[in-house]
Amino acid sequence: MTTNNSLRVSMLGLGAMGSALGAALVRAGHPTTVWNRSAGKADDLVAQGAQAAATAGDAVRASRLVIVCLLDHASVHDVLDPLTDELAGRTLINVTTTSPEQSRELAAWAADAGVAYLDGGIMAIPPMIGQPGSSILYSGSADVFDQYKPLLDLWGDSTYFGADAGLASLYDLALLAGMYVMFVGFVHGAAMVAPAGMTAGEFAAMAAPWQSAMTGAFQGLAAVIDGGDYTVDGQQSLEFSDVALGGILDASADQGVSTEVLAMVQRLMRRQIDAGHGKEGFARIVESIRQPR
């Protein structure tokens, strides 16, 4: 394992996340070369002790370990394709948000170029980097993960999911899918109570403990989904949930609030009800999601 904090690192991409990652490396004492396409983004890190590179090529040449945190898959290729020869023999850790197939494509591209490749999915916002609760998922080269894990742990808890470079992205995006739906549900609720005079802040104080308590149901839902038996006793039936959701939709409309979000949930349920599964548990909507029309 690489434990020496004098390990030289190059960081390409200094948006909010890239800057946070770079700052953690500098604080730990790693000589860090930084580069960003637009001028000025490196100034804060340079003030903390980083070295600014004039070009991406200069940054790559400065270190054996290159970390990339750019806008998207296309920007990774835009920056790195002209540097294929420079990257050969080096290690590339890509924490840019990409789809699983894009991550696999980058891993294949790196292999062709003679570059050791590790893909990462960041489960944190920039202020969380290096703090409790930050975690980063990795897949790709096990050798790279093992060698650099102490460095990766500077950013948050590091978990490796295997040689398939697309797995970290898949799990990252799956977790984010749940987050976005949860956020939309909160915003919908806040919109519902606003006409009654409740602020979003007041509603958040009510919603946070309730939502936290409800996450305890995940394991039960997971057991039903994994078991494939949606008739297990103790589940709330789809027919019951449909009636309950209908009441929420009516209340939303009465408050002048869009019903689009909850109507989507109702459509998923009713596809299973219409197929004759109304007496079965709520978890059955996973079949509507697995088999989209």
Residue 1 confidence (pLDDT): 42
Phi-psi region of 263 (alpha: psi -120 to 50; beta: other; left: phi over 0): alpha
Instruction: Give buried/exposed letters for 101-126 (b at 16+ CB in 10 A, else e).
Output: ebbbbbbebbeebebbbbbbbbbbee
Domains of the chain plus CATH, in order, are: 9-164 (3.40.50.720), 199-290 (1.10.1040.10)
Overall average pLDDT of the 255-283 stretch: 96
Instruction: With cut-offs at 50, 70 and 90, classify the pLDDT of residue 159.
Output: very high
Instruction: Give buried/exposed letters for 247-259 (b at 16+ CB in 10 A, else e).
Output: ebbeebeeeebeb
pTM: 0.91
Query: Nearest 5°: phi and psi at 113?
Result: -90, 0
Residue 2 confidence (pLDDT): 45
Span 114-158, pLDDT tens digits? 999 999 999 999 999 999 999 999 999 999 999 999 999 999 999
Instruction: With cut-offs at 50, 70 and 90, classify the pLDDT of residue 232.
Output: confident
Instruction: With cut-offs at 50, 70 and 90, classify the pLDDT of residue 5.
Output: low
How much is the mean pLDDT over the chain? 96
Instruction: With cut-offs at 50, 70 and 90, classify the pLDDT of residue 4.
Output: low
* pLDDT score of 82 more than 70: yes
